[in-house]
Amino acid sequence: MARCSYCGASESLPFTCKFCGGKFCAEHRLPENHDCQGLAVYKETRGKEPEKWIYEPFRAEEQEAPRGGRVQEVLGRLTLRHALYTLLALLILLMLLRSFL
């Protein structure tokens, strides 16, 4: 459990500010909402292109756990299931053929 550096509210998934590195609640995640020191410095160095800033913070958990691996795992299981069903169908067909002959 982390706490918002600005208002002190406890957050299970705090937002990390790119500019000052602080942890904030959903309400104070944007630099303007927590009187961000890092943003002021960034504005001075960046200056001319304010529209191009991307300062939407990220949730730490989302960055650390890519989801591609899990999807591939599920797909792998699906094809294995399909293979098993196909094998079962073939066996039944074989047994039917045998009973006819």
4 touches Zn ion by CB under 5 A: yes
With 0-12 / 13-18 / 19 or more C-beta atoms within 10 angstroms meaning exposed / middle / buried, residue 21 is: exposed
Q: Nearest Cα to 8, choosing from 31, 24, 32? A: 24
Binder among 14, 15, 25, 57 for Zn ion (CB under 5 A)? 25
Compute the least distance from the CB of residue 61 to Zn ion, in Å.
Answer: 18
20 touches Zn ion by CB under 5 A: yes
Looking at beta carbons only, is 56 or 67 nearer to Zn ion? Answer: 56
Compute the least distance from the CB of residue 33 to Zn ion, in Å.
Answer: 8
CA distances from 91 to 1, 60, 98 (A): 55, 50, 11
Q: Which of the stretches 35-43, 48-56, 67-75, 89-97 binds Zn ion when contact is defined by CB under 5 A? A: 35-43
How far is Cα 56 from Cα 94, in angstroms, rounded to an integer?
A: 61
Q: Other C-beta atoms within 10 Å of 12: how many?
A: 7
| Positions in the binding site for Zn ion (CB under 5 A) | 4, 6-7, 9, 17, 19-20, 25, 28, 31, 36, 38
